[in-house]
Amino acid sequence: MKKIFLALVGMVLAFSASAAQFSSGNQFVTLDKPVSGEPQVLEFFSFYCPHCYQFEKIYHISDTIKKNLPQGTKVTKYHVEFLGPLGKEMTQAWAVALALGVEDKVAPLMFDAVQKTQVVQTADDIKKVFIQAGVTSEEYDSAWNSFVVKSLVVQQEKAAADMGLQGVPSIFVNGKYMVKNDGLDMSSMDIYSKQYSDVVNFLLTQK
């Protein structure tokens, strides 16, 4: 029993020591104008962004954050339209993915189709990726023209504007803080993704 207690104390002290190293301007930025009503953890990305590809497929930042979040906390991902020749179409397509609940199926396929094989050249090519992910042509077309998807497009655009988004990938917490991608330990992929997750969890506790 004593060993278990000491182990728990050690874990608490280790987290406290780690959290003490996180400060505004270093590992994160405190927004000048906090935005109320935004998701607790909000990630902005683009399928055209090479760093977003690394973020998702190499460093597995989103997956690591999700695994370590307090129960009931959700990561919301919004696509931005200011990158790539089909930026607007991609943002609407991501709204379709959100509406249909197929984000986790579509994202890896779309990243590979855009960044790796570069087979996405038209709006129809975007649809083909969704079909590859298991969405029927009818489901895609119906969602594409729906009020829900149009609302989600506006929601993504508004959130980016309200946050004063400058680039991607970017993760915001509680509408008050943005994690500094270059403020973390990049000595290894595992350390970087773990510290990213630690910073997000730390910021969730800040008022």
Give yes or no for residue 14 having a pLDDT over 70. no
**Average model confidence (pLDDT) for the chain?**
91
Task: Using the structure block, give the residue that is written with the tokens 């931005």.
Answer: 80
Q: Classify residue 16 by burial, with Cβ atoms within 10 Å: 0-12, 13-18, 19+.
A: exposed
Which one is predicted more confidently, 207 or 163? 163
* CA dist., res. 95 & res. 53, Å (int): 19
Give yes or no for residue 73 having a pLDDT over 80. yes
User: For residue 21, what pLDDT band results from cuts at 50, 70 and 90?
Assistant: confident
User: For residue 18, what pLDDT band results from cuts at 50, 70 and 90?
Assistant: low
Task: Give me the percent of the chain exceeding a pLDDT of 70.
Answer: 90
- Asked whether the beta carbons of 85 and 120 are under 8 A apart, the reply is no
Give yes or no for residue 51 having a pLDDT over 60. yes
* CA dist., res. 69 & res. 200, Å (int): 8
Structure confidence by residue, pLDDT tens digits, 125-149: 999 999 999 999 999 999 999 999 9
* CA dist., res. 194 & res. 146, Å (int): 38
* CA dist., res. 177 & res. 158, Å (int): 17
When pLDDT is averaged across residues 4-12 and rounded to a whole number, the result is 41
Q: Are strands 170-173 and 177-179 parallel, antiparallel or unpaired?
A: antiparallel
All domains of the chain, ordered by start, with CATH? 28-205 (3.40.30.10)
| The pLDDT value given to residue 125 | 98
Indicate yes or no: pTM above 0.75: yes
Residue 107 sits at φ, ψ, to 5 deg, of -55, -55
